[in-house]
Amino acid sequence: MTKAIITKNVVKKYKQYSNQKERMLDLISPTSRGEDFYALNGVDFEADKGDVVGFIGINGSGKSTLSNIIAGIVPETSGEVQVNGQPALIAVAAGLNDDLTGRDNIELKCLMLGFSKDEIKELEPEIIEFAELENFIDQPVKSYSSGMKSRLGFAISVKVDPDILIIDEALSVGDRAFADKSLKKMMEFKDQGKTMIFVSHSIGQMKTFCDKILWLEFGRVKAFGEVKDVLPLYEAFLMKWQNMQKDERDIYRNKIMSKDPADNKYKNLGDLMVLDDDEELEASHTYSVRPVSRLAHLKAYTTYVYQSPNDDENKSDAQHLKNKVYYVKREATYQFENYYLLSTQPSGEDGVIGWIRGIETSSHVHTLVDNDKKIFYLTGRGFASSEPWGGKRQYVHESLEHHGGLIFDVNETILIGNNVWYQGVIEGESESVWIHSNNVVSDMEELNDDDDSNN
């Protein structure tokens, strides 16, 4: 097939400055100032003639930057871009001069695209009619709403009949009726076999309109392939991303963006995958099991427990599993997501409940330290549970406030993440319980010193 678009190792670098003074010093000083920011970082991408490719990714992933580079509006910092045909970018106010009227903008943009005065005069009524701006066409564009600007830009671009059409969020503004009309026009272009790039946050529009999906994540290619293969992965990621706290998002973003583009290794970074052959597609739809040793609590938004990670039919509601801690002895990766096998017992076979998405749990590595006998004294703080790091439904003592000074006879020590937990028997009781190391001391002097400091 004839290639309409080819990008090889495309990098777009900007400078970020903390203030205007730093920006000015960078212009006149031999010493480089400011921090490098990579809007695109080694993007490899090809579109065949007639492909309709959707660009997806959360804000700041480089979708508009790549669109502008393909359209020839901004240059790449490094890499190679080959566009075989005349591209036209449709974005809100793209290429429009705010000080000129709508009519003047039509003439200016068409002249830039190589049309003669006579050709523009013939096209102008059709563009005005399609944009539905008859009463405003001789007003300055700066007085237009974002929807009106988008309609004018869209009308100019589709009426000049480009070889490659790039639509960047142009249908996200304005009224529904115009959006429907625009989609109909785009469908006509699709039937004509034109190459199109469609940038949108609308998953529904992507499913309806696109053949392939390019998923960008902080300037890198996360996945590229058929709609049916990539969109489910992206939707799963969105759920994961939306449930991340700000610090978790920052860590994830920094991990992706910290790679040096000079490394020139863009198709094999962590869990990045370009879905361009049958083996990779097959691998993304199966799962492999690994033995692990973890403990996990279910988060508030937990949804379902699955019979197996790739079995969406046989699932059950997870609400009744809240407020307990579970053993995780198996881990699997399916469609770029981690799944944990939950068990009520420290076993991968006994007490098994089912699989749950790892993102829907709070979990830590569970390590046996020793089975040595130890004697501690309770401080009167914390709780005692039937399981290490137990949930509310597993509390033996919700509060140890009235147990201060009692002997705690320990027979097992474990590590959960960075926290030490002891299993033993409290003086005067027979049931074995788990207590956090912060809530015990090794001798009475420590206990007295602790009491004095609290007083």
Same domain (yes/no): 254, 346? no
| pLDDT for 271 | 35
pLDDT of 324 above 50: yes
Is residue 380 in a domain? Answer: yes
pLDDT of residue 418: 86
pLDDT-derived band at 306 (thresholds 50, 70, 90) equals very high
- Does some domain include residue 279? no
pLDDT of residue 262: 46
Residues 89-108, mean pLDDT to the nearest whole number: 79
Is residue 74 domain-shared with residue 179, that is, in the same domain?
A: yes
Examine the domain organization and report whether 21 and 56 are in the same domain. yes
pLDDT band, residue 268 (cuts 50/70/90):
very low
Task: Please identify which residue in the block is written with the tokens 């406030």.
Answer: 401
pLDDT tens for 336-369 read 678 899 999 987 678 999 999 888 899 999 999 9
Establish if 280 belongs to a structural domain: no
Res 404 pLDDT > 60: yes
Structurally, the chain folds into a number of domains equal to: 4
CATH number at residue 39: 3.40.50.300
Q: What is the pLDDT of residue 33?
A: 74
Q: Kindly report each contact of residues 273-282 with a partner whose C-beta sits within 8 Å and lies 24 or more positions away, as own/partner.
A: 273/222, 273/223, 273/336, 274/44, 274/221, 274/223, 274/224, 274/225, 275/223, 275/224, 275/225, 275/226, 275/229, 275/230, 276/224, 276/225, 281/225, 281/229
Task: Compute φ and ψ for 274, nearest 5 degrees.
Answer: -95, 115
The predicted-structure confidence for 269-297, as pLDDT tens digits, reads as follows 333 334 444 444 444 556 767 888 999 99
- Quick one: 38 and 181 in the same domain? yes
Q: Assign 238 to helix, strand or coil.
A: helix
**In the listed set 332, 365, 398, which residue is the last one of a domain according to the structure?**
365
The string of pLDDT tens digits covering residues 107-144 is 888 887 778 888 888 889 988 988 888 888 999 988 88
Give the count of beta carbons closer than 10 Å to the beta carbon of residue 1: 9
pLDDT at position 274 is: 41
Average pLDDT over residues 237-242: 79
Range of the domain at 346: 286-365
Residues 158-163: what's their mean pLDDT? 78
> Do 331 and 380 lie in a common domain?
no
Tell me the percentage of the chain whose pLDDT exceeds 70.
Answer: 87
What's the pLDDT score for residue 135? 83
Whether residue 388 is contained in a domain is answered as yes
Q: Is 17 among the domain residues?
A: yes
- pLDDT, position 244: 79
Kindly tell me if the per-residue pLDDT of 454 is higher than 80: no
Claim to verify: residue 79 and residue 212 sit in the same structural domain: yes
Residue 91 included in any domain: no
Tell me which of 348, 365, 382 is where a domain ends: 365
Instruction: Look up residue 360 and give its DSSP letter.
Output: G
- pLDDT beyond 50 at 266: no
Q: Higher-confidence residue: 431 or 235?
A: 431
pLDDT, position 92: 55
Lowest average pLDDT, out of 153-157, 332-336, 415-419, 448-452, goes to 448-452
End of a domain among 134, 157, 180? 157
Lowest average pLDDT, out of 36-50, 225-239, 245-259, 279-293, goes to 279-293
- Would 139 be classed as within a structural domain? yes
Same domain for 151 and 49: no
The answer to whether residues 119 and 218 belong to one domain is no
| Pairing label, strands 52-56, 195-199 | parallel
Residues 4-17 have pLDDT tens digits of: 999 999 999 888 77
Residue 258: is its pLDDT beyond 80?
A: no
| Average pLDDT of the segment spanning 308-325 | 90
Is the pLDDT assigned to residue 155 strictly greater than 80? Answer: yes
46 or 90: which leads in pLDDT: 46
184 domain-assigned: yes
Instruction: Read off the amino acid at residue 62.
Output: G
Cβ–Cβ < 8 Å for 67, 55:
yes
Q: Which CATH number goes with the domain that contains 392?
A: 2.30.30
Residue 190 pLDDT greater than 70, yes or no? yes
Two structure tokens written together for 73: 């509006």
Both 54 and 174 in one domain: the answer is yes
Are 311 and 387 contained in the same domain?
no
Torsion of Cα atoms, 173 then 174 then 179 then 181, to 10°: -150
168 and 64 in a common domain: yes
- Which pLDDT belongs to residue 261? 45
Q: Are residues 410 and 385 in the same domain?
A: yes
Structure-model confidence comparison of residues 452 and 129, the more confident one = 129
**Most confident segment among 93-102, 221-230, 233-242:** 221-230
C-alpha distances in Å from residue 295, one per residue of 328, 329, 414, 415: 6, 9, 11, 10
